[in-house]
Chains A and B, each alone.
Chain A
């Protein structure tokens, strides 16, 4: 996938239907805003349903920067996408706790991979509907679990009941 030229120059790519944003540079206020804009633009433009923002490459994260990142997650949900934040270090967590930081409802995972896993149910296109073709409408609940073959047999059997 070609990488768009982004405002923030933070490389973002789409993997497993999710926008993956691995942040490998030190964050500062202006950069966070640029990253936010890039993410929102791509989510809207490509109709993406999932985003993973990985902070494992960020050494310093204070309350304002964290707020910016977590707010970005909230914003994507307004666009119908779900964002998972990953890669928080023990140091970042301990610091944010002392600063009374409230993460809100933003989902968090430890690693980028875990983040993608969490998003799977939300980004995967819906499975083929189970009620494919029901040959007879009289088939009751129990029989729905059986295979088509069984259904046919049951169908035959039903006539006898």
Chain B
């Protein structure tokens, strides 16, 4: 039982990549139970770190189907209830095609192709700007 939980956290570790910005790279498969655990972890971490942006990277997720999309929507809604914003990154063209073809409305969820783009949005949300040293 303890092992199972450990594995899950290893597969979806929560990183504070900047003050107020969390990054969760998710890999493997996402079923209801796992989605629930991921959501719980994210919520606790948001409260603990007072984060305003959460980047969920799904590049390593094996199948992104309508069920998974719904899990992501649910997690996004949950983060909103804590005053934070969720950005899903790692959406590759094939996944984008599947999601639209399945008729899933990701309306409220911000998505980006890769983590760098998601980070840019997160910085924007935080009112931060990267400036080169003189």
Binding site for B on A (CB under 8 A): 88-90, 93-94, 96-97, 101, 103, 107-111, 114
A109 surroundings in chain B (CB, below 8 A): 83
* Cβ–Cβ contact A93 & B50, under 8 A: no
* Cβ–Cβ contact B81 & A96, under 8 A: yes
In the complex, which residues 24-79 of chain B have their Cβ closer than 8 Å to any Cβ of chain A?
A: 36, 39-40, 43-44, 46-47, 50, 74, 77-78
Query: What's the Cα separation between A111 and B47 when bound, in Å?
Result: 9
Interface residues of chain B: helix, strand, loop or mixed (majority): helix
Query: What's the Cα separation between A142 and B74 when bound, in Å?
Result: 49
The smallest beta-carbon distance between B81 and chain A, in angstroms, is 5
Is B82 in the interface zone, CB < 8 Å from A?
Answer: yes
Known interface pairs A88-B81, A108-B82, A110-B82; A94-B40 also in contact (CB < 8 Å): yes
Q: Which of B39, B47, B50 contacts A89 (CB 8 A)?
A: B47
B78 surroundings in chain A (CB, below 8 A): 93-94, 97
The smallest beta-carbon distance between A54 and chain B, in angstroms, is 13
* Cβ–Cβ contact A94 & B43, under 8 A: yes
Query: What's the Cα separation between A90 and B80 when bound, in Å?
Result: 12
Query: What's the Cα separation between A103 and B80 when bound, in Å?
Result: 9
A97 surroundings in chain B (CB, below 8 A): 39, 74, 77-78, 81
Interface centre among B44, B47, B81 (most CB of A within 10 A): B81
Known interface pairs A110-B46, A110-B50, A111-B50; A93-B82 also in contact (CB < 8 Å): yes
B82 surroundings in chain A (CB, below 8 A): 88, 93, 108, 110
Interface centre among B39, B43, B77, B83 (most CB of A within 10 A): B83
Query: What's the Cα separation between A1 and B116 when bound, in Å?
Result: 50
Q: Which of A94, A96, A103, A107 contacts B39 (CB 8 A)?
A: A94
Closest B residue to A96 by CB, please name it. B81
The smallest beta-carbon distance between A17 and chain B, in angstroms, is 21
A89 surroundings in chain B (CB, below 8 A): 47
Known interface pairs A110-B50, A111-B50; A93-B83 also in contact (CB < 8 Å): no
A107 surroundings in chain B (CB, below 8 A): 83
9 more contacts with CB within 8 A, not counting A89-B47, A108-B83, A109-B83, are A93-B43, A93-B82, A97-B77, A101-B81, A103-B81, A107-B83, A108-B82, A110-B47, A114-B50
19 contacts between A and B (CB under 8 A): A89-B47, A90-B47, A93-B43, A93-B81, A94-B36, A94-B39, A94-B40, A94-B43, A97-B74, A97-B77, A103-B80, A103-B81, A108-B82, A108-B83, A109-B83, A110-B47, A110-B50, A111-B50, A114-B50
The 6 residue pairs across chains A and B that have the minimum distance between CB atoms: A90-B43, A108-B83, A93-B81, A97-B78, A90-B44, A109-B83
